[in-house]
Structure 1
């Protein structure tokens, strides 16, 4: 018992340790297959989804983030390119400083991470550490991604990591993540200490407003409307239209045959009129559909710019580091994604592991992701050979 100078009891503090095993139990909150928020998406739907997210209810926004890449080729391609650029970077673990204890901690942490990804009796097959890094890049659209840390007893290493879907979180009561469970469907509840790696991409304090789903939802909505108009245009100008003009007596006698005849030319491909009806088919100023194709191209370019920061493709990237895999993503975006991922892992995973395994004062290891393109080995070898030959000739 310790008292202060006034004789009052000073409460003892104990270092928290994360609970081992799987703790986060995700139960279905709604029918998985019966809800598709992107189906028939209108501007009013987009506005409703974003307003709900502004209030902390992010389920519809997270579902939209999951569904958009399945329905938009432009979103799928650009998103995959951005995520692959980051996951394709090499990474390593650096000691907190040059001391012996820090070097030892970095080696031991690397060993524990290499062993992660085993099967768990409750959770099944768990993620390895590289899979964790890849999974956290899913934050690009919804603005955040999370995974449960399945600790070994006492925080001495990891069984592995388990993804937690974004729709299982609520931000109605706080800017920090709260898990939606059966008893807390709306406001959620705080996750346990050291149980969650929570990766957020946002400039302010609100993680629900930092995802690229917000501008992309509008672009996808407009492109869907334009696609429908384009298909209707092609249907009108891309197939023959049959017009039959008959008198009343023929119509009364042969109307069934005439209807069957018109139907055989395809849907919306014909019409029957009496001789007393005058019909004028108004034509568009342009029958090429160029305005629709130009608008679709503009929307696809806008989607690519939002996700990649530029519109150059792998076949047109001579000005972007020669067309390698990372050159399709602007380097400043790639570097920002890498620094954000490093910060999340260093804070939510490495620092907690360090508290469980080493005394205070030993600096925590750090994750380092190499975003600079690797040097061409052949070019470097030729350069070194020329340099060696030059030095030898001067000797």
Structure 2
């Protein structure tokens, strides 16, 4: 009896299939994993923010992670640019390459494609990319084993506040639990660390750099709101007599305050309210410019540029330069995400269904390579007559053309033309036909002109064969008698010397003059 190999994850930890059939991090009101929210952004000050950031490094990241969530909810600009960065990667092409052409490797790759082709997979990638803001994300794999197979039925985003990092290395993720934190079950999690910068994962998120801009912008917006509320309103001055009691004074103060909101007040006859016209010279531009400047810093942090999010001078040229920067960031995010999926998803999926392998399928995320189709077609047209073998399906894939239906009318060469591979390439007349085949395809795209007729004249049996006849006549027999490479070279040199160079030059000159004359007079000159 063959003993099945023991399953271990990429870190060498043994796999417990029984443990994988239950959720490890389901929320529970009786435990410390609660779904209620924290809002450290309320009343945030520079001192409190510094304390939150410091504690996150020292082993207590809960309030920092809650603040990162608050920032996405309270700052529209930060939420917008961070969402762009996540969705841009999630919208890229996802490909799966088999480890080899062997049947078992192709079957393994098909299984991975079955998972990545699910409608919800791209949304699940957005959840995995939550690590961009917070530094890490933990997504639990919920396995379906109802039919004896292992298939992910869902990738469940888990609140990052439920996790902390090991105190010794600062990198191993632990699940908070009463008494003692738990290690994550092997093959039960996709843990992604965003490398926005080098260092510990908790310091690698974008929220850490954006937090100070968030704080200062909140101050600017608060001051702006106060300014707008008071700007242009007259000073309301209440006057009371010498014998007014404290109660009368309080009544007058309430009346003055109510005038600003209710535009009505009742005061005793012994009191008076005067309105002093406002002569403020301030402007809202200071607050607006400061808020916009802070938003641009966040754009630089998250997207690496500002041209696609803010209206600035420079226009199209500036935008093109910044698009290249965004492409670099996009590529880095996509590579990191694909590496995480290959480590935590692909290996788990294959091992649980087929057993361990020496090589696994590979997920790639990114934009397809752009191909210059015009240059490709020109090269193929030029090289196929010389013997280059090119598959039709390959060309269709590069050109974006589907395979034709069996009964579909097909495009083809002009009547009388034949494919070069169907004829003897050693026959000079066959070479003429091959070259005519190349030009026949070009005639579909452009009308015949004097230059085309000049080429045809050179290729015509009566035009070029007499010129090179002395070179090729009896060449096979003479080369067969050569005893060395040097003998063969000498034979060819003698043959070339016998070429009618003068007659050939006269032919070229006559045809060149005819073509030029046709171009200058726009007439049909033969």
Structure 1 length-normalised TM: 0.76
Q: Which moved more, 1:12-21 or 1:148-157?
A: 12-21
CA distance in 2, matches of 1:57, 1:107: 42
Written as runs of structure 1 = structure 2, the 5 A alignment for 1:229-240 is: 229-240=223-234
Per the TM alignment, residue 268 of structure 1 is displaced from its structure 2 partner at its CA by 12
CA contact (8 A) 2:115 2:121 kept: no
Q: Secondary structure at the match of 1:287?
A: coil
Pick aligned residue for 1:170 from 157, 164, 167: 164
Change (3 A) 1:141 1:242: same
Q: State the Cα deviation string for residues 206-244 of structure 1 (Å, max 9, x = none).
A: 211100111111111111112222222223324232234
The aligned residue for residue 7 of structure 2 is 15
Pick aligned residue for 1:338 from 334, 339, 352: 334
Change (3 A) 1:21 1:31: closer
Q: State the Cα deviation string for residues 82-115 of structure 1 (Å, max 9, x = none).
A: 1121112121211123444322210122235557
Pick aligned residue for 1:81 from 84, 91, 100: 84
Pick aligned residue for 2:344 from 344, 348, 367: 348
Q: Secondary structure at the match of 2:367?
A: coil
Structure 2 length-normalised TM: 0.58
Q: Which moved more, 1:71-80 or 1:151-160?
A: 151-160
Pick aligned residue for 1:266 from 260, 264, 271: 260
Change (3 A) 1:290 1:113: closer
Q: Secondary structure at the match of 2:140?
A: strand
Q: Secondary structure at the match of 2:335?
A: helix
The aligned residue for residue 137 of structure 2 is 145
Change (3 A) 1:310 1:238: farther
Per the TM alignment, residue 146 of structure 1 is displaced from its structure 2 partner at its CA by 1.5
Q: Runs of 5+ in structure 2 lacking a partner?
A: 9-14, 374-397, 400-440, 457-526
The aligned residue for residue 120 of structure 1 is none
The aligned residue for residue 283 of structure 2 is 288
Change (3 A) 1:102 1:254: closer
The aligned residue for residue 311 of structure 1 is 306
Q: State the Cα deviation string for residues 171-227 of structure 1 (Å, max 9, x = none).
A: 14241111112333xxx2111111110011134452111001111111111111122
CA distance in 1, matches of 2:443, 2:70: 57
Pick aligned residue for 2:188 from 195, 208, 218: 195
CA distance in 1, matches of 2:249, 2:129: 62
CA contact (8 A) 1:85 1:329 kept: no
Written as runs of structure 1 = structure 2, the 5 A alignment for 1:243-282 is: 243-245=237-239, 248=242, 258-259=252-253, 261-266=255-260
Per the TM alignment, residue 165 of structure 1 is displaced from its structure 2 partner at its CA by 1.4
Change (3 A) 1:315 1:178: closer
CA contact (8 A) 2:232 2:278 kept: no
Identify the structure with the greater helix proportion: 2
Identify the structure with the greater strand proportion: 1
CA distance in 2, matches of 1:391, 1:95: 43
Q: Runs of 5+ in structure 1 lacking a partner?
A: 1-11, 118-127
CA contact (8 A) 1:149 1:162 kept: yes
The aligned residue for residue 299 of structure 1 is 294
CA contact (8 A) 2:7 2:356 kept: no
CA distance in 2, matches of 1:31, 1:352: 29
| Residue 61 of structure 2 is aligned to residue 58 of structure 1 | yes
Looking at CA atoms only, which structure, 1 or 2, has the larger radius of gyration?
2
RMSD after superposition? 4.2
CA contact (8 A) 1:146 1:164 kept: yes
Q: Which moved more, 1:80-89 or 1:350-359?
A: 350-359
CA contact (8 A) 1:197 1:344 kept: yes
CA distance in 1, matches of 2:81, 2:209: 14
Q: State the Cα deviation string for residues 139-174 of structure 1 (Å, max 9, x = none).
A: 111011121112244763222222221111111424
**Bigger relative contact order, structure 1 or 2, given CA contacts below 8 A and separation 6+?**
1
Change (3 A) 1:258 1:37: closer
Per the TM alignment, residue 327 of structure 1 is displaced from its structure 2 partner at its CA by 5.0
Q: Secondary structure at the match of 1:50?
A: helix
Q: Which moved more, 1:14-23 or 1:56-65?
A: 14-23
CA distance in 1, matches of 2:355, 2:247: 98
Change (3 A) 1:268 1:69: farther
CA distance in 2, matches of 1:352, 1:260: 70
Q: Secondary structure at the match of 1:288?
A: coil
